[in-house]
Amino acid sequence: MNKHYLLGMLLTLALLTLPATTVYSQPSWHSNTATIETPDLVVRFFNKQPQYMFWIPRENGTSVYIVKFLEIVEFDDLDGDGAYTSGDLMLARAQLLESSIQWNIASEEIVNNGILEIRITMNATVKVIRIAEGPGGIIGYVNVSFVNHIYNQTISVDGYEVEGNKELKIDIVIENWPWVRDDSKLAIGIIFAGHFRGKEGVPKMEEHAVREHEREIKMSHEDAPYQGVFRYRDQVKIMENNTSKFGQVNESDMSTSHRAIRYLAYPHFEGVLIHDPSITVEKSEEGLLTALTSNYLYIGVIAIVLLAVIVIAVKKR
C-alpha cells in the first residue's frame, strides 16, 4: 500500500474519531459531607444549611469563599428607593441559620438531551418573628427552599447561560410569607466571607453589570489566587393565582469594616417568589498544562500530530 495513502487514511480516521473521544467529566454529590464536586468547582453546604463554601479543587488550602444566606426581613421602605437600607423600618424577620432549623436535603440526577444535572434541594419551614408594629413573637411560618443545579456541560436555562462543571445555579424559593403589612417588601441578607491560607478574612467586593438584567459581585483577597463570584438577576419571578410576573430586585450594601453583607430586596407579593442567583470561581489566567488537561479537544489534536510524526518516521526508514 502507498505510504502517502496510508498516512492520509490514518489522519482521516483520527479526525473522524475525535468528537467521539471528547468526554465531559461528571459532577458528583457526597451526601455524608453535603459536598458537590466537579473538575472545576467544589461546593460544600456547611452544617447542612444554606451556607455555601466553595473553592477550586485542591486550592482549599489557599482560598475558600463563603456565601451565607443569613435572614429574610420584611421592611417598610421609608425612603422609597426599593432597597433595604439602614434608614428603613424592619417589621419582621426569619433567621435562616439558627441551629434549631431542620433543613431537609434531597438529591437527584437528571439527564436531558445527554446533559447531566445534579439537583440538590434544601427546604425548611422557618418561623417569622414580628419586630415592629405590634406585639413581638412568632406571627407565622414561611417555607424556604434553595434548589441547587450543577450541570456537566454549559447550558442555557431560562435565557441564562450556566457554565458546565463550574457554576452552581441556585433557585431561592420563598412561599407564603405571613405579612405584617400589605405594602411592605422583603429582603434577603447575604454574608460574604472566606478563609485565606487558613485564616478568616473579609473579601474585597466589586460589583458591576454583566449584561442586561444580570449583575455580579466579585470577591477577592490579596492571598487568593482566584476570585469567587456571586451572580444574580435584577428581576425576580412572582407566581400568584396561577399566573407569573416579574418584579425588580434592588441591592444594598450594609457592610462594615469587619463584615461584608448585602441585601437583595424584593417587591411585595402573595404566593411564591423565585430568584435565581449563582456562584462560581474565576482564575485570571490558567497555565498551559491546566488548559490542556481540562480540554480533551487539544489532547486529541496532540494525539493526531504524534501519530502523523510516527507514520512519517516509519516512511523514511
Per-residue model confidence as pLDDT tens for the chain (317 residues) = 555 555 455 444 444 444 433 444 689 999 999 999 999 999 999 999 999 999 999 999 999 999 999 999 999 999 999 999 999 999 999 999 999 999 999 999 999 999 999 999 999 999 999 999 888 899 999 999 999 999 999 999 888 899 999 999 999 999 999 999 999 999 999 999 999 998 999 999 999 998 888 999 999 999 899 999 999 999 999 999 889 999 999 999 999 888 999 999 999 999 999 999 999 999 865 433 443 344 444 445 445 545 554 545 555 55
Task: Provide the pLDDT for residue 185.
Answer: 98
Residue 21 one-letter amino acid = T
Task: Return the exposure string of 17-38: e unless at least 16 CB atoms fall within 10 Å of the residue's CB, then b.
Answer: ebeeeeeeeebebeeeebebbb
Task: Provide the pLDDT for residue 136.
Answer: 86
Task: Provide the pLDDT for residue 308.
Answer: 53
How many residues does this entry show for the chain? 317
Task: Provide the pLDDT for residue 145.
Answer: 98
Spatial distance between the Cα atoms of 219 and 210, rounded to a whole number of angstroms: 15
Write down all domains in the chain, each with its CATH number in brackets. 1-26+287-317 (no CATH), 31-284 (2.70.98)
Q: Which of 253, 233, 247, 238 is nearest to 190 (CA)?
A: 253
Element spanning 220, H or E: strand 214-220
For CA atoms 35, 95, 279, 222, give the dihedral sign: negative
The single-letter DSSP state of residue 180 is S
Task: Provide the pLDDT for residue 298.
Answer: 42
Task: Provide the pLDDT for residue 180.
Answer: 97
- In angstroms, the Cα distances linking 107 to 32, 101, 269 are 12, 19, 29
Spatial distance between the Cα atoms of 19 and 21, rounded to a whole number of angstroms: 5
Residue recorded with cell 480533551: 296
3-state secondary structure 187-208: EEEEEEEEEECCEEECCEEEEE
- Is residue 64 within 8 A of residue 52, CB to CB? The reply is no
Model pTM score: 0.82
